[in-house]
Structure 1
Amino acid sequence: MTPAAIDAFSAVPPHLVIRDAFGADMAARLLAFALAQAELFSETQVGNQKGRVAKQIRSSRVIGTLGALEGDLETKFRALLPRATAALHLAPFTLDSLSMELAAHGDGDFYRRHIDTFVRGEMTGTDRVLTAVYYFHATPKPFTGGELRLHSLRPLDQGGSYIDIEPVHDSLLLFPAWAPHEVRPVSCPGGSFAQSRFAINCWYNSRAH
């Protein structure tokens, strides 16, 4: 393996952070929606296997419907694709669909290191190419922690690296779906749902080959 290849495996994957991404109005609408739907959130699952909850890997709550906001959000995410493709040096791909969910991380919640592409046995008719995470929360921020840690392909104990990205209100993070990442533990002493770290997880899907 060449030195350049070693460096590539040890480097943090390409990523793009956009501040003031969707605007204060959209962030406020999303927060109001999340709070109104609080009782409909369920425990998050792991992988693409329905009903598999693994609290030692992923602890949070999620809702898969975004109601009347879904169309506006999809328009905003789609509009970002050319910018993200250029900034992350992604190979051009034909967008088949978007998949979105609204996740809430409360006190003690986390998600261990993982990737967003599916492995054998979990495959669907599409491939996840690009991950986008839009952050919003009550202000002032009622929690600490919850950074998204983006890992290199090479593990830390073998010369790898990582970067922690803060879940800033009305900010958007984009990175390739193959990039290893995790959600660091959230601390929210108040413990109420309204104090959660909220995020829209969006995946840009291409047709599977």
Structure 2
Amino acid sequence: MVLDDFVGDATAQRLLEYAIANEAVFLPSKVALGYEGHVDETHRVSKVNPDIESVMPLIEPMIRKAVADAIPRLGLVNVDSYFLEPEIAWSGDGAFFKMHADTLRDRANPRVLTMVLYFHKEPKAFEGGQLRLYGLGAQPGSSDYQEIEPRWDRAVIFPSWFPHEVLPVRCRSTSFEDGRFALNCWVHRISGNAT
């Protein structure tokens, strides 16, 4: 699902201002390794801020409404109870995230749905950074994919087990505010509560 004008200009602008004001708390992104994560710049280069509780009230109602619409539309079952795991990711020049899936299947409450919301300075100061969403079961190098452009206030929602990647970002500026910002939010099914 691709949803443009997802939270509205004013809310997207507040997210951007929050992210820029909190540049100091963004840390190098990690990739999953069991229950732990580790920095692996051969697989992922970006920075993230997982502590966004202060801005979640701005966007959580829209996210929950979109999740309620997406669950039947995308054919998910047994997602009667869930919790959200949000973070803001920043990508500057050279940032990327190679092909992966978001499920974290070895955890008690697996990720079942992924939502990405884009916001950035206008006019856009970067190029690239498209989300490449592959067909189920695709392997690296597969030509079975759809590319989605990161546009202002655009949300993308898809099942977490679909392979995907973030293509390299190109940005002439080194200023944090000129990068590609995305709010990533994963829906974790609460196991044992499904009917």
TM-score norm. by structure 2 comes to 0.91
| Cα separation, 1, equivalents of 2:66 and 2:186 | 12
Q: Which runs of 5+ in 1 are unaligned?
A: 1-15
Quote the residue 1:110 is aligned against.
Answer: 96
Post-superposition shift, 1:188? 0.4
2:150 corresponds, among 145, 160, 167, to 167
Is the contact between residue 113 and residue 188 of structure 2 (CA under 8 Å) also seen in structure 1?
yes
2:39 corresponds, among 45, 53, 57, to 53
Aligned positions, number: 190
- Please give the residue correspondences for 1:2-81 in structure 2 after superposition, counting only pairs within 5 Å: 16-47=1-32, 49-50=35-36, 52-81=38-67
TM-score norm. by structure 1 comes to 0.85
What letter is aligned with 2:4?
A: R
Quote the residue 1:155 is aligned against.
Answer: 139
Q: Which has the larger radius of gyration?
A: 1
What RMSD, in angstroms, separates the aligned Cα atoms of the two structures?
Answer: 1.7
Post-superposition shift, 1:105? 0.5
Quote the residue 1:176 is aligned against.
Answer: 159
Q: Structure 1 vs Structure 2: percent identity of aligned residues?
A: 37
What letter is aligned with 1:66?
A: I
After superposition, the Cα gap between the structure-2 partners of 1:72 and 1:129, relative to the gap in structure 1 and judged at 3 Å, is same
Quote the residue 1:7 is aligned against.
Answer: none
Q: Answer with 98-107 or 74-83: which moved more.
A: 74-83
Quote the residue 2:111 is aligned against.
Answer: 128
- Please give the residue correspondences for 1:181-196 in structure 2 after superposition, counting only pairs within 5 Å: 181-196=164-179
Q: Which runs of 5+ in 2 are unaligned?
A: none
